Amino acid sequence: MKPREKATTQQPVYRVALLGTKFMGKAHSQAYRNVNMYFSDAPKVEQAVICGRSPEETEQAREAFGWQEASTDWKAVVARDDIDIVDVSTPGNMHCEMVLAAAEAGKQIVCEKPLANTLQEAERMVAAVESAGVRHLLMHNYRRVPAVALAKRMVDDGRIGKIYHFRARYLQDWALSPGLELVWRFDAKLAGSGALGDLGAHVIDLGRYLCGEVAELAATSETFIKQRPVEAGSSEMADVTVDDAAALCVRFANGAIGTIEASRFAPGRKNHNTFEINGSKGSLTFDLENLNNLKFYSVDDQPDTQGFHEIIACSLGKHPYADNWWFDGHLLGYEHSFTHMIYDWLRALAAGGSTHPDFHDGLRNQRILDAAARASQSRSWEVVG
Ligand code: SOE
């Protein structure tokens, strides 16, 4: 579908409908809100409608996040002719239905990760966007942290050489308390899986982005707290139906090997999304809790000063996305990665193309999640389909 064109300037204007008002709804909103302020070459975007379930909360979100309209009827909004982009920022159990409806209505689609709760849903979603001929973006935002984008550039430029290892962990600690109620993330019907799909999916995406396709894997997972109060303070308990933690041992198609860990039970680890890559020419390490920095070790450095060097990845003219923000070293945050995703996506749309990660990446990711779930049941190596 063609975006609206302003009669005066003939610039495309993309009108967005956002489905979801919570944490991810807010993160995506700020990207739409800021992209034209900081990226002067980005096509124009309008925050048309935000959709949620509760009229009060949706209206509050509309006002706070800068949307023109609020609605509790996402189906009617998705069908509207004045909407170009549908952004699905709901829990995973709604992704498939919403994406199918948006594809049917001919919208360009943004979806929060993981793409779906099951492999079958992911396959249906890819088939739907392909047959509708619409563009699709999957919000694996960490690819667009400048230090991570720099790591990708260095890998592609051959500066790390042949990759031997990808060693990654995504750890949080918010689920530690047994008194924490059964929020949707502990319910397989709503979330699909636990730490594996929530956190592991990000690290798997980074592994694919930086090192290539995963061919086979072994995995284990555990649910440490098996029952939780149905509501805060309640003595009534219900089963946790997802994993609290998962650990994968992976073989990449290019011969590299890796380990991937995801946990919500790592005291002190708040948002510890970290990787190390070792190759024939050097190593790279990144930690989201220090997200502007990338550490680089080169085998070619002079022996007396050789060691890991810390690069502050926000220098103008040198680092991805830096020119659009502040002066050298003025540091960026978590939210900027979403803005960068939307910037690349809008530019790709206006050029008639698309950008990665897209739903095909999401489907490949889902195949790895599926193989990990199978491997942790079978306790044997599984080939990624
Ligand atoms: C919660 O664990 C969460 O918000 C994830 O769902 C996000 O994808 C991650 O980026 C931060 O943590």
Instruction: Establish if 351 belongs to a structural domain.
Output: no
Using CA positions, which residue lies closest to atom 6 of ligand 1? Answer: 198
| Rg, the chain, Cα only | 21
Contact 58, 50 (CB under 8 A): yes
10 Å CB burial of residue 125 (0-12, 13-18, 19+) is buried
Instruction: Establish if 193 belongs to a structural domain.
Output: yes
Please tell me the pTM assigned to this model.
0.97
Number of domains in the chain: 2
Which CATH number is 54's domain given? 3.40.50.720
Region 362-377 average pLDDT = 98
Q: What is the pLDDT of residue 5?
A: 65
- Mind listing the pLDDT tens digit for each residue in 262-294? 999 999 999 999 999 999 999 999 999 999 999
Per-residue pLDDT at 4 exceeds 90? no
Residue 128 amino acid letter: A
- Mind listing the pLDDT tens digit for each residue in 203-234? 999 999 999 999 999 999 999 999 999 999 99
Give the Å distances, CA to CA, from 47 to 52, 111, 238. 15, 16, 39
> Ligand 1 centre from 159 Cα, in Å?
31
Q: Which atom of ligand 1 is nearest to the CA of 113?
A: 8
> Ligand 1 centre from 199 Cα, in Å?
6
Q: Which atom of ligand 1 is nearest to the CA of 198?
A: 6
Q: Which atom of ligand 1 is nearest to the CA of 142?
A: 10
Q: What is the pLDDT of residue 6?
A: 56
Q: Taking all residues of the chain, what is their mean pLDDT, rounded to a whole number? A: 97
Residue count (the chain): 385
Residue 119 phi, psi (nearest 5): -60, -40
Query: Are residues 37 and 113 both part of a single domain?
Result: yes
Can you tell me the distance from the alpha carbon of 267 to that of 251, in angstroms, rounded to the nearest whole number? Answer: 29
Region 299-327 average pLDDT = 97
Region 34-57 average pLDDT = 98
Query: Are residues 120 and 153 both part of a single domain?
Result: no
Q: How confident is the model at residue 3 (pLDDT cuts 50, 70, 90)?
A: confident
Provide residues with CB under 6 Å of ligand 1: 23, 172, 198-199, 271
Which helix (H) or strand (E) covers residue 56, if one does?
A: helix 55-65
User: Which of 141, 158, 180 is where one domain is finished?
Assistant: 141
> Ligand 1 centre from 148 Cα, in Å?
17
Region 137-156 average pLDDT = 98
> Ligand 1 centre from 198 Cα, in Å?
6
Per-residue pLDDT at 7 exceeds 90? no
> Ligand 1 centre from 24 Cα, in Å?
8
Q: What is the pLDDT of residue 385?
A: 87
Take residue 215 and report the two structure tokens written for it: 């061919």
Instruction: Establish if 346 belongs to a structural domain.
Output: no
Per-residue pLDDT at 165 exceeds 70? yes
Q: Which atom of ligand 1 is nearest to the CA of 174?
A: 2
Per-residue pLDDT at 131 exceeds 90? yes
- List the domain range (segments joined by +) for residue 373: 146-290+292-331+357-383
Query: Are residues 208 and 105 both part of a single domain?
Result: no
Pocket test for ligand 1, best of 111, 198, 206, 289 (most atoms within 8 A of CB): 198
